[in-house]
Structure 1
Amino acid sequence: MQKLALFDLDNTLIDRLDAFRRWVGEFVEQRGLRDQDAAWMIRLDDDGALPMDTFFAAVRERFGLAEPVGQLWATYRARLPELVVCPYEVLAALDRLRAVGWQVAIVTNGMADNQKGKIQRTGLAEHVDGWAISDAEGVRKPDIRLFEIAAARCGAQLSEGGWVIGDDPEKDIVGGCRAGLSTVWIDRGLPWTVEGLKPDHTVADVVSAMALLLAEGSHR
């Protein structure tokens, strides 16, 4: 199997939920809203599961905002990458993988400006070989075509094998299995919910996932 590792971005390489909560705090303060309004927004977001156009339509209606949904969403996309952090230990682990011959790419659903902003502002752009963003490519995980694009940007192809690492059971793990790749699920303390299929490995965080890949690679 080739040394190809395709990583999810949000809540895998970076803590999207932490950044979102900080954005909510700013939004509430700027708009003169209450703590219970912040809690409502965090519940509504559902850890990123709710489409953001739907999220901002609900926010606009609840708080009687004048800005169109598209403007609210665009302002959010410009700000969130500034709030996201990629820990040093994650960047260092990516460097260790690449130093021993792994090709590394990011495969992420989302708007191109938002996701590319996160990749660039966190420094991840300098620690991976490429990325594929659903909005830019016109296809979303779990569709295997997004994984194919990311692999190609590493000079690889899915038929030679590799790994998908992510926190979403459907988008990352089911998608990776459909692509014929091995999978590592970052469980974030949650139970596995997909019947009839399980990841090859389950870990608590992405640094543990990369340590596992390093061990796997050393056996070949």
Structure 2
Amino acid sequence: MYYKVILFDFDDTLVDFHDAEVQAYGHLMRHYEVPSHLHDYHRFKEINQNHWEAFQRGEITKAEVLRHRFIATFETYGMTVNGQEADIVFRDGLARAPIKWIAGIMPMLEALHSQYALAIVTNGVTDTQERRIAQTDLHTVIDHIFISDKVGAQKPNVGFFEAVFEVFDQYDKKDFLIVGDSLTSDIQGGINAGIDTCWFNHRQLENKTAIQPTYTIEHIKALKEILM
């Protein structure tokens, strides 16, 4: 299949978000002087995931997610915090965390750059994502960056992809391929938008959903076979 535009998710597709999030959580715990032996990233991860899933179901707003995930986390420590302040501290730690690449990503992007239009499509807060991306050399290989906060819509909503199609208006939907690690965000988003999808399952997770990607790969090198 011949594609012309490759859309890449950012977190856990190009870079290791888990690593950055662990560092940001440590930064948050130190800010609020929580003893190190009580730091429990997995506690936060579960609470955070539950809040984002509630957001995707339309039960709470994004602003409520960003505040309440920390209020709920610190309640488990018997502490009361200002959720908005905690979110700012956490996102500052996230933006400062050194970038850790997923294996093989930059060589692949450098190889593709001369043949395809490349774009990043990421859900997140504009300031945080721009600061993180600015740590990298992605500007040398990426043609455009779409951040949900700036776009005004979040993957998997069609509105997010409409903003992408508006920028790349010289191409048809058949020319697009989205590559991402999230079935519910990247792959479902691509399906909703009517473009082909590639699930980058580098963590070798079981697909327990009804979402069916066009392709599935476990190493970024396998993307070459799809694009041949």
Please give the range of the TM-score, normalised by the shorter of the 2 chains. Answer: 0.7 to 0.9
For 1:23, the equivalent position in structure 2 comes to: 24
Unaligned runs of 5+ in 2: 54-64
For 2:40, the equivalent position in structure 1 comes to: 38
1:140 and 2:169 aligned:
no
- Aligned-partner Cα distance in 2 for 1:181–1:148: 12
Relative distance call for 1:216 and 1:168 in structure 2 (3 A) is closer
1:93 and 2:101 aligned:
no
- Aligned-partner Cα distance in 1 for 2:105–2:188: 24
Taking only aligned residues, the RMSD between alpha carbons, in angstroms, comes to: 2.6
Unaligned runs of 5+ in 1: none
Match runs of 1:87-126 below 5 Å: 87=101, 89-99=104-114, 101-126=115-140
Alignment equivalent of 1:172, drawn from 186, 194, 205: 186
- Aligned-partner Cα distance in 1 for 2:188–2:75: 35
Aligned residue identity for 2:208: T
Deviates more, 1:24-33 or 1:149-158: 149-158
For 1:5, the equivalent position in structure 2 comes to: 6
Q: Name the count of aligned residue pairs.
A: 212
1:202 and 2:216 aligned:
yes
Alignment equivalent of 1:57, drawn from 61, 71, 79: 71
- Aligned-partner Cα distance in 2 for 1:186–1:89: 13
Relative distance call for 1:165 and 1:21 in structure 2 (3 A) is same
Contact 1:17-1:47 within 8 A present in 2 as well: no
Q: Secondary structure at the match of 1:202?
A: strand
Q: Secondary structure at the match of 1:44?
A: helix
State TM-score, norm by structure 2: 0.80
For 1:181, the equivalent position in structure 2 comes to: 195
Q: Deviations over 1:30-62 (max 9, x none)?
A: 513243442422333349946332212213444
Aligned residue identity for 1:179: A
State TM-score, norm by structure 1: 0.82
Q: Secondary structure at the match of 1:176?
A: helix
Relative distance call for 1:104 and 1:156 in structure 2 (3 A) is farther
Displacement over 6 Å in runs of 4+: none
Contact 1:166-1:184 within 8 A present in 2 as well: yes
Aligned residue identity for 1:91: M
Aligned residue identity for 2:225: A
